[in-house]
Structures are given as C-alpha cells and as structure tokens.
Amino acid sequence: MPTRRFLGRGMMAVAAAEKKRSGKTEIKETLLTPRFYTTDFDEMEQLFNTEINGNPNQAEFKTDYNQTHFVRNPELKEAADRMRGPLRKKTNPVVAEIFFLMSRDEARHAGFLNKGLSDFNLAFDLGLGSLTKARKYTFFKPKFIFYATYLSEKIGYWRYITIYRHLKANPGFEVYPVFKYFENWCQDENRHGGFFSALLKAQSQFLSDWKAKLWSQFFCLSVYVTMYLNDCQRTAFYEGIGLNTKEFDIHVINEINRTTARIFPAVLDVENPEFKRKLDRMVEINQKLIAIGESQDLPLVKNMKRIPLIAALVSELVAAYLMPPVESGSVDFADFEPRLGVLIL
Ligand SMILES: [Fe+2]
C-alpha cells in the first residue's frame, strides 16, 4: 500500500469534496492553475535502489551541458519589441513593464543563488509544504505593499553593501566568491527601492497625514524586529564571515532608518540605546520560545509555557512602537540626500 497519496488531476474532485467537508475555503482551480503532485516515496526508494537497479547513470545530468547556454542576447529583446497585437496584451503597460523588470532582477538573483547552492549539493526548499503555502494569498492594500516593499528593498541594499564592503576590507573571510557579486546585486535592490520611493512620492497622501506616520513606524518596527530576531538565530553565518551579528544588524538598521527617513513621515528612534535594549530583550524571549518548541513537553504544556513569553514579547513590541518617533520625510528630497542627522540635532 502506498504510504503517501498521489494527488493528480483525477484526484482534484475528491480533494475538493474533502475540503468542502472540512469547511475550508476552496481554491478556485482552473486548467492553468499549477498543480502539486506527490507520490509513493517508498516505491520510488525501491525503484532507485542501487542494489536492485545497478548504478543509475547520473553522469549525463552532472555534466550540466547548458550551464552557460542560457545567456540572453539582443535577439530576444528585439523580437519582443516587434511583437504587437493580442500577443502583447497588457492591462497597464507601464506597471506591467516595471514589475516585469523587477521580477527579471529577482529571478536572476534567485537563479544565481540556486546555482550557488548546487555547488554545496543543496537547493531552495521547494517542498510541497512551502509551495502550497505560497498559493494562499493574503490581501494587502497597495499602500502597505509600497511601505513594506520599499523597506525590504532598502534592507537588501544595506545588508549586501555592508557585507560586500566588510569582505573587501577583510578578504580572508571571503569563504565563497558569491559575495563578490553583491556590489552590483545591491544596486539592483537600491533601484527597486527607488522605484517604490517614487511611487510613494507620487501619492503624497501615503506620506503626509497622521495615519501615514503610524503605518511608517509600524512597518519599520516589523521589518527591523524580524531581521534582528532572524539573524540572531543564525549567528554562525555572520560570525563565519567575520561579522558580529548584532553589530552588523544594528549598523544595517541605523542605515536603513536614515535612508527611510528621507521619505517616510516618521521613523523609529533606533539610535536611542533603549531601542537596542528592547531588541535584545526580544531576542532573549524568542530564544526561550524556540527552546520550548524544541523541548519534549506535551503540546498543551508547551502552549501554557508560551503564553507569558508571548505576552512579554508583545509588550516589548508595543513599548518599542510607543517610543517617541523621529519626525522625518519630504517628498522633495533627492534619493540620497542625508537628512536624519539634521532632524535629530
Ligand atoms: Fe529587489
């Protein structure tokens, strides 16, 4: 008997009926909706068992004949420019083109990273769980996308440029040459951030009123805390390339905040030592939460232990959010004009 289920098109009706019975919202499926398949892995294990099958010839795959084949040349772009009519139908050509260009950069980065991972015999986690999760869409108003994407692009810029500059000054820590690519890579992120900055400036209502100030602070806090907590869980990487994780993060947070202050109407007072103390307390709480998750306790006991810690984390977050902000922003500044230093003097 197969131990895992194979879900193909024939099974879709059954799966839909199961979902309806379980009361979950049904995903609207069309013929073009990508489907996810799983199979009988025990049988696959047998089929690829070298004792039964001999050694399957993997040399053909490993040679990677097309490693340097997929290089774009002008012919493709020229052919696309010549294409007219229904083949090129778009709802809004400007938006479509900009997002196409951004996704070109992001796909190139992801593809490059994936190639790098293959040098370590690793690949992005494209397991069924993460793929099916990616299909659930959460509604986000455009202005929230603008704030959040602006911040994440600028974070990308400051993280990559900081690592690049550090390794340029300390080449002994350059354990893998992918970091040499970070200088141009971060300029892509900077351009993406610049685009969202322009979008926000064009919609000054997103930058001018009291709601904009509260949202700006909220998104700054979410992004900074997420980065700090995540990185403090992966200190081995940062220390492996000669960085102190917390110092690196604080430097990046300060720089992003200064950049963001050129456009957001209010930013957090991250250079106030109390802000860092709060971040460090959140790291301690988060470490305790992780330890509970990894313990052998019963699920109910784990949840009981989590309650006071989650309450403590929320109270640190609220306290950080309520710290007096730094008034900032202008829709008139050039993209790289320093500003925060003047504002806090
Ligand atoms: Fe980007």
Q: Mind listing the pLDDT tens digit for each residue in 51-70? A: 655 555 566 656 666 677 66
Tell me how far the alpha carbon of residue 43 lies from the centroid of ligand 1, in angstroms.
Answer: 41
* pLDDT tens digit sequence for 63-102: 666 677 667 778 878 877 777 776 665 556 666 777 788 8
Q: Please indicate, yes or no, whether residues 46 and 173 belong to a single structural domain of this protein.
A: no
**What pLDDT score does 157 carry?**
94
* pLDDT tens digit sequence for 173-214: 988 888 888 888 888 898 888 888 888 888 788 888 899 999
Q: What are phi and psi of 326, to 5 degrees?
A: -100, 120
**What pLDDT score does 116 carry?**
80
Q: Please indicate, yes or no, whether residues 181 and 255 belong to a single structural domain of this protein.
A: yes
Q: Is residue 68 part of a domain?
A: no
Tell me how far the alpha carbon of residue 188 lies from the centroid of ligand 1, in angstroms.
Answer: 6
Tell me how far the alpha carbon of residue 157 lies from the centroid of ligand 1, in angstroms.
Answer: 8
Tell me how far the alpha carbon of residue 42 lies from the centroid of ligand 1, in angstroms.
Answer: 40
Query: Is residue 113 scored above 90 in pLDDT?
Result: no
Tell me how far the alpha carbon of residue 40 lies from the centroid of ligand 1, in angstroms.
Answer: 38
**Which residues on adjacent β-strands are paired with residue 267?**
326
Tell me how far the alpha carbon of residue 47 lies from the centroid of ligand 1, in angstroms.
Answer: 42
**What pLDDT score does 220 carry?**
96
User: Domain range for residue 322?
Assistant: 98-344
Q: Please indicate, yes or no, whether residues 336 and 211 belong to a single structural domain of this protein.
A: yes
Burial of 49 (0-12, 13-18, 19+ CB in 10 A): exposed
Q: What are phi and psi of 288, to 5 degrees?
A: -65, -40
Contact 242, 173 (CB under 8 A): yes
Q: Compute the average pLDDT of residues 276-284.
A: 97
Tell me how far the alpha carbon of residue 108 lies from the centroid of ligand 1, in angstroms.
Answer: 10
Share of the chain above pLDDT 70, in %: 68
Mean residue pLDDT across the chain: 77
Q: Please indicate, yes or no, whether residues 50 and 116 belong to a single structural domain of this protein.
A: no
State how far the Cα of 236 lies from the Cα of 243, in Å rounded to an integer: 10
Tell me how far the alpha carbon of residue 191 lies from the centroid of ligand 1, in angstroms.
Answer: 8
User: Minimum mean pLDDT among 41-50, 222-231, 272-281: which range?
Assistant: 41-50
**Which residues on adjacent β-strands are paired with residue 327?**
266
Tell me how far the alpha carbon of residue 297 lies from the centroid of ligand 1, in angstroms.
Answer: 41
Q: Compute the average pLDDT of residues 106-127.
A: 75
Query: Per the confidence metrics, is the pTM higher than 0.85?
Result: no
**What pLDDT score does 216 carry?**
95
Q: Compute the average pLDDT of residues 251-269.
A: 95
Tell me how far the alpha carbon of residue 201 lies from the centroid of ligand 1, in angstroms.
Answer: 19
Tell me how far the alpha carbon of residue 298 lies from the centroid of ligand 1, in angstroms.
Answer: 42
State how far the Cα of 311 lies from the Cα of 319, in Å rounded to an integer: 12
- Which residues have CB under 8 Å from 9's CB, separation 6+? 35
Q: Is residue 93 part of a domain?
A: no
Q: Please indicate, yes or no, whether residues 276 and 193 belong to a single structural domain of this protein.
A: yes
Query: Is residue 262 scored above 60 in pLDDT?
Result: yes
Tell me how far the alpha carbon of residue 106 lies from the centroid of ligand 1, in angstroms.
Answer: 6
Structure tokens at 261: 């202050």
Residue 121: which H helix or E strand, with range? Answer: none
Our count of domains for the chain comes to 2
Burial of 284 (0-12, 13-18, 19+ CB in 10 A): middle
Tell me how far the alpha carbon of residue 169 lies from the centroid of ligand 1, in angstroms.
Answer: 25
Share of the chain above pLDDT 90, in %: 40
